[in-house]
Amino acid sequence: MRRDAVGVGLAVGAYGFAFGAAAVSAGLSVFQACVLSLAAFTGGTQFAVVGVVAGGGGAGAALASGLLLGSRNTLYGMRMAPLLRVRGPRRLLAALGTIDETTAMAQAQQTPALARSAYWWTFGGVYAFWNLATLLGALAGSIVDPIRFGLDAVVPAAFLALLGPRLRSSKLDRRIALAGAVIAALLIPVTPAGVPVLAATAALLLAVRTRGQAS
Amino acid sequence: MTLWILVLATSVGCYALKVLGYLVPARVLHRPQTRRLVELVPVALLGALIVVEAIADGSRLHLDPARLAGFAVGGVAVWRRAPFLVVVLAAALTAGLVRLA
C-alpha cells in the first residue's frame, strides 16, 4: 500500500505542477490557482475550468463544465460514506478528500479497516503533493512560458490517461467517449469556448438508447 | 473580479458536490440504470475535453504540430498502460523538443 501511495503522490505532483502552470498561463493569479487546489481539490475539474478560461470562454460555461465533471465525486461520496462511517466535522473533512485517487485506493483494499486507512493516507499524501505542486507550478508558470515546455500537450494527454481505464472497461464507455469527442470537434468552430464540452453530454443519449442491452 | 467569482464558485460548488454524496441516502442511486448514466457523464466530458485541448485554440481549430506530436506520444503511452507520470513527461518532452527543432 505504501509503494502505491508514493506512486500516486508522484503522479499527482506532476499533474499538480502542470495545473499550477496552466492556471497562471490562463490568466489566474498564483493565489487563485492555490485557492482552487486547496478548496475545490479535484484535479480534472480544475483543469476543465482553467481550460475554458484559457480558451476565452465565459465564466458560466467554465463553472458549468467544472461542476458537471465534479459531480462524479458525489457518487464517490455515496460509496465512501458507509465505508468510512464518519460523523460531524470528520465527515466534512472526509468529503474534501473524496476524489478519484482516494476512492480507488480505498476500494482496492480487502477489509473495511484497511480501506479506511488507505483512504486517509492517500488523502493526506495527495492533498500535500497536489497543493505544493500547484504552488510550484504556478510560480514556475509566472516566470517562464509553460507552453514552451510542452504544457499544452500535457493537458490532453493527462485527460486521456484519466479516461484510459474507462475506455478499456466497456464498449459503451468507448462509444460515449467517442461521441463526446465528435460532438466537441464539430462544435469548436461554431460555438464559444466551453460550449463544446457541455454539449458533449448529449452523447449520453447513446446510453439511454442502448440501456437495455448495455448492462 | 470575474476570475475571483469563478474561483470561489468552483471551490464552493465542487466541495458541496462532495458533501452531497455523504448526505443523500444510497437508495437514490439504487436503480442501476440511473447510476450507470451518472457514471458515464465524465466519460463524455473527458472525450470532449481531450479533443478541445488537443485541436482547439479558443473557439477556432488550431492544429499545432508540437502539441499534436506530444499528445500522440502521450496517447501511445496511455495505450501501452504506462504510469501517469510517464504519460505526462513523454507528452511534455515531445512537444518541447518539436518546438526546439
Mean pLDDT along residues A103-132: 92
Give pTM, 2 decimals.
Answer: 0.88
Exposed e or buried b per residue across B5-31, where buried means at least 16 C-beta atoms within 10 angstroms of its C-beta: ebbebbbebbbebbbebbeeeeeebee
pLDDT of residue A36: 97
Minimum distance, in Å, between the CA of residue B47 and any CA atom of chain A = 5
**pLDDT 10s digits, A42-52:** 988 999 999 99
CA distance A71 to A74: 5
pLDDT of residue A9: 77
**pLDDT 10s digits, A64-92:** 999 999 999 998 999 899 899 888 899 99
Residue in chain B closest to A162 (alpha carbons) equals B46
C-alpha grid cell, residue B12? 464552493
Secondary structure (DSSP) of B19-55: HHHHHS-GGGG-SHHHHHHHHHHHHHHHHHHHHHHHH
| Residue among B47, B53, B55 whose CB faces A200 most closely | B47
Residues of A in contact with B44 (CB under 8 A): 176-177, 179-180, 200-204
ipTM: 0.91
Residues of B in contact with A144 (CB under 8 A): none
| Residue among A32, A78, A185 whose CB faces B24 most closely | A78
| Residues A36, B39: C-beta atoms closer than 8 Å | no
| Residues B95, A153: C-beta atoms closer than 8 Å | yes
